[in-house]
Homo-oligomer: A and B are copies of this chain.
């Protein structure tokens, strides 16, 4: 847990030179009055349920989804581009709202950073957002761990449900990078300390309560989703849900405030709803459905981002979140960097400064694949945004432009890190061209399809697999699941985000 790296510090310096608007002023830009806000200090506010209910009849704005090529250690700048695009659209006179995930406290102390954007395209107050913010992650952690404590208390109090302590799958969570808690034995110390068993902690963004928070439509729905969580299996192999432990009511009470979206601003005063923060590799990886819906009521245009990669993060956004939430994206912005494409083309990180058109050409197959998925599988317009870095050569930029053009697409530089919204105007104009067309979005699979079909569709159409084969154990499990109410659920595939390869 080292100190924050150099680049983040200079982000901080940039941010400190900007005088933020009182959040009540930012709210006014999208038609909200001071009394509509629950203030958390001067620069943060929550939008309570009553306000959202009042906004409900309004028509939705247009939804712009920002995603990126497969991630590399070189970084793509997806969040920065999202923020800068929002600022640019606002500069061009559109009432724009940005919708982003909240950063975890855990990685914030680590090396990642960037969850609040960078350079001149940031949301603020950055330090607050990166620390406790409005307490949402703490509430998620508390609600999650209340259920966990109730599970162990149930075991301790006689275990009427017959839960098998060795088959409890629900984990405790902590908003911290704490590897020593991943695998623990708990309940030690004798008769009064519960029942010994193997258990573990995940990080809060990976917790099940975070996942359900992000898909809930309101507090009552959240309560039900909490009740539906499967915590483990009984000795006779029956799944047990949180509802049977009567945990969901108390969980919902703990999440009472966390369900309200948080309003902050960009360094240029554009309103941003920063709310919810699930990991993309395990959960669906985008901000809450409530925040996106609220943003669509407040803004003519909403810019949001989906997690890792157009295949993984965007697939989840489009197939899960859009389906659950009835969302209709109008256009997808696909962020790429010359550096990342060169890494996909085989260049080592240390050699990125050297011009290498061959590697760029090779690496661009990753970009082409993502463009194909967005356009041909999901039926959406796709704009490629180049996030330029100081070392990119003009020849490389030109080569990329021509690669994209060969695919019938358009690459637009987005100089938002260096110049803020002004640097994003070209991208904004390219996006605006697609906002007024007829809706073209379609899902990869139908809700009624079998689980096997869903998995096959995702694997073959999105990940480009030639087919799907299961081991015997996996096939048995699948058959078992088909027989349950889960059969019509959307499918959420956990996969390391780093490749399109076939395993």
Contacts and interface: CB of A to CB of B under 8 A. Distances in A.
Nearest to A109: B250
A interface bracket (residues with beta carbon within 8 Å of B) = 35 or more
Given A38-B41, A38-B42, A179 B196 contact: no
Given A1-B250, A184-B186, A178 B148 contact: yes
A257 interface: yes
Interface string A195-215: 111101000000000000000
Contacts of A437: none
B179 A156 contact: yes
A193 B167 contact: no
Interface stretch (A135-143, A319-327, A460-468): A135-143
B195 A165 contact: yes
A105 B156 CA distance: 21
A188 B186 contact: no
A191 B167 contact: yes
Given A135-B135, A166-B191, A191-B164, A156 B180 contact: yes
Main secondary structure of the interface of A (DSSP, over half): mixed
A405 to B, nearest CB: 37
Given A164-B191, A180-B152, A145 B174 contact: yes
Interface string A148-184: 1110110110100000111100001011111111111
Contacts of A142: 105, 132, 138, 175-176
A192 interface: yes
A190 interface: yes
A125 to B, nearest CB: 12
Interface in A241-262: 250, 253-254, 256-257
Contacts of A105: 142
A145 B189 contact: no
Contacts of A256: 131
A59 to B, nearest CB: 30
A188 B185 CA distance: 8
B187 A180 contact: yes
Contact of A178 (B38, B139, B145): B145
A107 B463 CA distance: 48
Nearest to A40: B40
Contacts of A164: 191
A42 B256 CA distance: 16
A24 to B, nearest CB: 11
Contact of A188 (B183, B187, B257): B183
A497 interface: no
A240 interface: no
Contacts of A177: 149
A235 interface: yes
Nearest to A158: B235
Contacts of A235: 158
A455 interface: no
A493 interface: no
A39 interface: yes
A21 interface: no
Contacts of A38: 41-42
Given A132-B139, A156-B179, A195-B165, A146 B109 contact: yes
A22 to B, nearest CB: 11
A194 interface: yes
A213 to B, nearest CB: 15
A167 B256 CA distance: 41
B149 A180 contact: yes
A180 B198 contact: no
A423 B150 CA distance: 41
A198 B194 contact: no
Nearest to A245: B1
A395 B3 CA distance: 68
A98 to B, nearest CB: 24
Contacts of A165: 195-196
Contacts of A186: 180-181, 183-184
Q: Which 7 A-B pairs have the closest CB atoms?
A: A183-B189, A180-B194, A152-B180, A138-B138, A149-B178, A183-B188, A180-B187
